[in-house]
Amino acid sequence: MSRLNIRHSGIGMTSQRTRARMIERLRAQGIVDEVVLGAMSAVPRHIFVEEIFANRAYDDVALPINFGQTISSPFSVARMSELLRAGSSPGKVLEIGSGCGYQTAVLAQFAREVYSIERVGPLLTRTRTRLRELRLNNIRLKHADGVMGLSESAPFDAIILTAAAAHVPPLLLEQLAIGGRMVLPKGNKEQFLCVIEHNAQGYTETIVEKAKFVPMVPGIWKR
């Protein structure tokens, strides 16, 4: 069941029918987790893109969102969400890179709590307003350096990175609960989507498939 408290039906290229076609395309692309598909159906992607791109909101493409950032393609969001869930919904999730808030809103549909960090202050201000409009009360946003994670709220059942890291930030590994999993794109020129699982013996990493994301940048941008 959707946790959204208001309706964003849209018209034309932003209608519910257009969103339904996106879901069928995701199924055809191999997304099988119906909980993830339900979350993707519930969240109106067109309100997260710049107005100039509204008619492309449900195309399977990444789109620019200002400040050098992008909103990931629907398939990338669905794929990472499916890998993060792994058949069961996590209790507490940490997202590194709030961006425009679309992935955050999708996570909020099936996670009990979502903590999301964004380094770009002006972008986070816009995202906070957008998510407040959707009245999702299980999201906590913070302006901070994602490389550092959020130790005061750790451990997390799941951690997701929405930008590519050259190496896994060690502080994030420390904040992943035993039994938890991290999903991230990793690499520089060549990137791969990876899943890291934390068990009693340590960490195991699985390379899933090739990926293409903007690079992860340390530090905080306040302007």
Instruction: Report pLDDT for 217.
Output: 87
C-alpha closest to that of 29 among 66, 77, 64, 70: 77
Cis peptide leading into residue 155 (ω within 30°) = yes
Least confident of 36-45, 50-59, 169-178: 50-59
C-alpha closest to that of 55 among 14, 115, 87: 14
d(CA 70, CA 66): 7
Q: Is the pTM of this model over 0.75?
A: yes
Q: Produce one character per residue of 120-158: b if its CB has 16 or more CB atoms within 10 Å, e if not.
A: beebbebbbebbeebebeebebebebbbbbbeeebbbbb
What is the tens place of the pLDDT at every residue in 106-163? 999 999 999 999 999 999 999 999 999 999 999 999 999 999 999 999 999 999 999 9
Q: Which residue shows structure tokens 């990931």?
A: 72
219 band by pLDDT with thresholds 50, 70 and 90: confident
Least confident of 8-17, 127-136, 191-200: 8-17
Q: Domain spans of the chain? A: 12-211
Annotated active-site residue in 2, 15, 41, 72? 72
Instruction: Let me know if domain 12-211 sits in CATH 3.40.50.150.
Output: yes
72 catalytic, yes or no?
A: yes
Sheet holding 156-161, edge to edge: 139-143, 113-118, 92-96, 156-161, 176-187, 191-199, 202-211
What is the tens place of the pLDDT at every residue in 44-92? 999 999 989 988 999 999 999 888 889 999 999 999 999 999 999 999 9
Contacts of 6 (CB under 8 A, 6+ apart): 133, 134, 135
